[in-house]
Amino acid sequence: MGGDFGPAITVPASLAALQQNQNLFLTLVGDQSQIEGLIPSKGDALSERIGIIHTPDIIGMDEKPSAALRKKQNSSTYCAIELVSQGHADACVSAGNTGALMAIGCHLLKTFPTVDRPAIVSAFPTLEGRCFVLDLGANATAQPHYLSQFSVMANAMLTSVYGVASPRIGLLNMGKEAGKGNELAQRADGLISDIEDLNYIGFIEPEDIFEGRVDIAVCDGFVGNMMLKTMESVAAMVDQLIARQMAKEPLSVVDSDTIAPLLGRVRENIDPGQHNGASFLGLQGIVVKSHGGADQLGFEQALCTAASEVEYDLPSRIQQKIARLSAVN
């Protein structure tokens, strides 16, 4: 029910995901009448893999997480995460209120015993493919050991789900030189450097992310959220600049046949929707947040992200990595 468009986007995206993944079963949680109006008639092959749970309440995008946790236990968000906590679902995907998702997730699913705070991670497009950045907003302020835990959890995700043998990890800072940055960066650098099985390359700057020099970029939630919003804004600006320039200087038929497909691929590569689906690492269950403004393709991508994390049992792999780190330290 969340996001800018609600069921008008999430239900068609769910149907598309079911078509792509024959092993996928979905429970759609929210206003039953709205959901049913967007699903093919009963007996359809896809509808047999869809369940619906009606909930009367919705958590608004501007509601405080603490209030939502106390007062909205009949909401679609609370019910969806509760299904995961009770073992009736393997993962929760939502485009709703991020803070409420985090608060309810921590309440119902809990973090692993040795994880102090969950982190939100998502992929950024780069010249070489993608880089996973965390934290994207769960922790506006952070302690140095949070960042070391984030690096371990992200490393577990890339090695298990995405098959990256030795992910290159960088700590986002205002400069690469030793001694640069605030106390958080300095202390976190020392902690991450001491973790033996990480491919930690040290301090990085934003250009290192977008030029593809690292696979994982670690930072606090304030910096990460600003990075995310800046990237999305720049991507939208570039798309508009391309459109405006093409409108000013119409291409010939020959040029159009050559250039238009190239521009289309550029737009696709920088489209945040192609990388949609931010995972809440550190919870004892899978919760994936879709961007509130995601289109159908974007929400479908978030569903696919959750399905991959289920397939590779990401929470167990993170637990093993974190337990090993705690034993060493």
Structure confidence by residue, pLDDT tens digits, 19-53 = 999 999 999 999 999 999 998 776 677 878 999 99
* pLDDT > 70? residue 276: yes
Question: Is domain 7-116+275-312 in CATH 3.40.718.10, yes or no?
Answer: yes
* pLDDT > 50? residue 254: no
Q: Which of 167-181, 201-215, 273-287 has the lowest mean pLDDT?
A: 273-287
DSSP character for 291? P
Query: Are the CB atoms for 130 and 113 separated by under 8 Å?
Result: no
Residues contacting 291, CB < 8 A, separation 6+: 3, 95, 272, 273, 276, 278, 298
DSSP character for 32? H
* pLDDT > 50? residue 253: no
Exposed, middle or buried, 34 (CB in 10 Å: 0-12/13-18/19+)?
middle
Mean pLDDT over residues 79-98, rounded? 96
The pLDDT mean for the chain works out to: 88
pLDDT at 241: 82
- Side-by-side strand order, sheet with 216-218: 91-94, 286-289, 278-281, 119-126, 129-134, 216-218, 168-172, 199-204
Q: What is the model's pTM?
A: 0.87
119-274+318-328: which CATH architecture? 3-Layer(aba) Sandwich (3.40)
* pLDDT > 80? residue 192: yes
Residues 211-250: tens digit of each pLDDT: 999 999 999 999 999 998 888 888 788 878 877 877 777 6
178, two tokens: 């030793």
CATH 3.40.718.10 intervals, the chain = 7-116+275-312, 119-274+318-328
**Cα gap 61→95, rounded to integer Å:** 10
**Cα gap 316→322, rounded to integer Å:** 10
Any idea what the Cα angle at residue 181 is, between residues 179 and 186, rounded to 5°? 65
